[in-house]
């Protein structure tokens, strides 16, 4: 499993992903699931992946090779003029990779599927955030649905729904994400630290602050232990039930 | 979907279930999922069901007919001497009903499966709580795992894990369950009010306090609106993040 959240704020886009990959509980590894590209002053992009690791690595490799090999640079995510076209390229690449595995008649215990969150900004256009499905189609975040989750989305969702506000500062958003990730990590063994954090500031057109939050991160520890106490206090503050 | 929780306290057993059944979002009905049996002074039993409605109704009907038809009263849940044997009877009945559907080669869009929570007390034995699987086997609650959830378990789990304590009063436990149900109802359309609540007081050997919590229940409304504010305050009380 995996847990990733991409969040649209007035001040930009915030992304957080875990790094645990597993094929059964007896086969656990650590892989980066948050990838970035930038042409400073012109665009910055973040892609987060959930699902079959071979699929997601193939997609990212194809996208990166296209940005790197000068002679084959036609559909590059660093050259397409709009975020919509980039989302379409990522979606098409994802669908092609999944189909190329499925078409051989191969079957995995888990499917070859993958879901992705893509966000970024190109000069002259607002920051945009997409959720891309294994079928290659996608939806875009709006003021009604200003954040996307992929992977193990349920445990960490209630606090996001209750505490998110588009006018939050990045620091508040990171705190919120840490609470959401802590609830998920505590409930699902297949989501684990370290976490990767990336901010894309609106109109900065470069990669903003980023951080890898290791398992012994003191702030995450404070959140993790403090949230239990805060929840208990919140619970105690509610009126008592009487039959 | 469904959401049911059975909880073991020092003072007895508390059960809560929702009542929404659906076959697609355009086919929603209200059905009781919490069933009780008692021989006052001797035993009291609660069964909660999640999964295929035809399966769960068949199981409950078979169990009830066995308690009602005097000539066929051999394996009655009101006569078996231990909770373990009752759990085995419920499990066997459940497995038989599922297999009788599956054996005809019929297939449903969803499976015929069902999962159940059984709890109760028989005179002279401690109260006991079981989670029964579609295969007919079951596990029992212990001090390590003192509550069971079935159906849509994830949204409402973090608060249960953080705020549960075996020494809680029934009233505190009901408050906790309402918070857990509120988070679930808000996140999953297929879980809905009214809720059914049943308490089995330790050594009372009769059905304890019970209540149907309707959609307009004023206390549930207080919890539902108050919990959002309490969560926000809890979140604000955590230390701020700095890059």
Which residue in B has a C-alpha nearest to residue A218's C-alpha?
A: B241
Q: What is the ipTM of this complex?
A: 0.87
Specify the pLDDT at position B109.
57
Measured between beta carbons, the chain A residues lying within 8 angstroms of B243 are 170-171, 209, 211
Q: Do A237 and B239 touch (CB under 8 A)?
A: no
For residue B187, the chain A residues in CB contact (below 8 A) are 154, 157-158, 161
Chain A contact for B9, CB < 8 A? no
Q: Please state, rounded to an integer, the average pLDDT across all residues of chain B.
A: 92
Mean pLDDT of A126-144: 97
Q: What is the share, in percent, of chain A residues with pLDDT greater than 70?
A: 93
B191 and chain A in contact, CB less than 8 A: no
Confidence check: pLDDT of A148 > 90: yes
Q: What is the average per-residue pLDDT within A103-120?
A: 81
Instruction: Render pLDDT for B85-100 as a digit per residue (tens, 0 to 9).
Output: 999 999 999 999 999 8
- How would residue A107 be classed by pLDDT, with cut points 50, 70 and 90? low
Q: What is the mean pLDDT of residues A182-194?
A: 94
- Choose the weakest-confidence range: A188-202, B65-79, B209-223: B65-79
- Looking at residue A71, what is its pLDDT? 74
The pLDDT score that the predictor gives to residue B107 is: 64
Which of B7, B16, B154, B233 would best serve as a mutation to test chain A binding (most A beta carbons within 10 A)? Answer: B154
What residue ranges define each of the domains in chain B, with the CATH number in brackets? 3-237 (3.60.20.10)
> Which segment of A87-101, A151-165, B40-54, B103-117 scores lowest on mean pLDDT?
B103-117
For residue A81, give how far its alpha carbon lies from the nearest alpha carbon of chain B (Å): 32
pLDDT tens, A223-240? 999 999 999 999 999 999
Is residue A209 within 8 A of residue A170, CB to CB? The reply is: yes
User: Which percentage of chain A shows pLDDT scores above 90?
Assistant: 84
The residues with which A138 forms a beta bridge, in sequence order, are A132
Q: What is the pLDDT of residue A23?
A: 86
pLDDT at A39: 92
Question: How do residues A200-219 score in pLDDT, each as one tens digit?
Answer: 999 999 999 999 999 999 99
A103 close to B (CB below 8 A): no
Q: Is A235 on the interface with B (CB under 8 A)?
A: yes
Mutate to test the interface with A, among B11, B200, B212, B241 (most CBs of A within 10 A): B241
CB contact under 8 A, A239 and B230: no
**Does the pLDDT value for residue A72 go beyond 70?**
no
B129 touches chain A (CB under 8 A): no
Who's near B55: CB < 8 A, 6+ residues apart?
Answer: B94, B97, B98, B101, B112, B113, B114
């Amino acid at each position: 499993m995996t847990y990733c959240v991409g969040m649209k704020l007035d001040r930009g886009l915030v992304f957080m992903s875990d790094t645990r990959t597993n094929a059964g509980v007896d086969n656990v590894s650590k892989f980066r699931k948050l990838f970035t590209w930038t042409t400073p002053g012109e665009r910055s992009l973040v892609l987060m992946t959930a699902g079959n690791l071979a699929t997601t690595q193939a997609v990212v490799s194809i996208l990166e090779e296209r940005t790197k090999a000068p002679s084959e640079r036609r559909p590059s995510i660093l050259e397409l003029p709009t975020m919509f076209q980039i989302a379409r390229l990522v979606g098409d690449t994802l669908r092609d990779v999944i189909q190329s595995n499925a078409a051989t008649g191969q079957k995995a215990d888990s499917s070859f599927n993958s879901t992705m969150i893509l966000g970024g900004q190109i000069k002259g256009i607002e920051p945009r955030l997409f959720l891309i499905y294994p079928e290659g189609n996608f939806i875009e975040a709006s003021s009604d649905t200003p954040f996307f989750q992929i992977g193990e989305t349920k445990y960490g969702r209630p606090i996001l729904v209750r505490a998110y506000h588009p006018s939050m500062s990045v620091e508040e958003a990171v705190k919120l994400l840490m609470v959401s990730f802590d609830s998920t990590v505590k409930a699902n063994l297949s989501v684990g630290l370290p976490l990767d954090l990336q901010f894309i500031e609106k109109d900065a057109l470069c990669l903003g602050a980023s951080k890898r939050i290791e398992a012994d991160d003191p702030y995450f520890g404070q959140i993790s232990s403090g949230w239990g106490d805060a929840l208990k206090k919140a619970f105690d503050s509610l009126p008592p039930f009487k039959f």
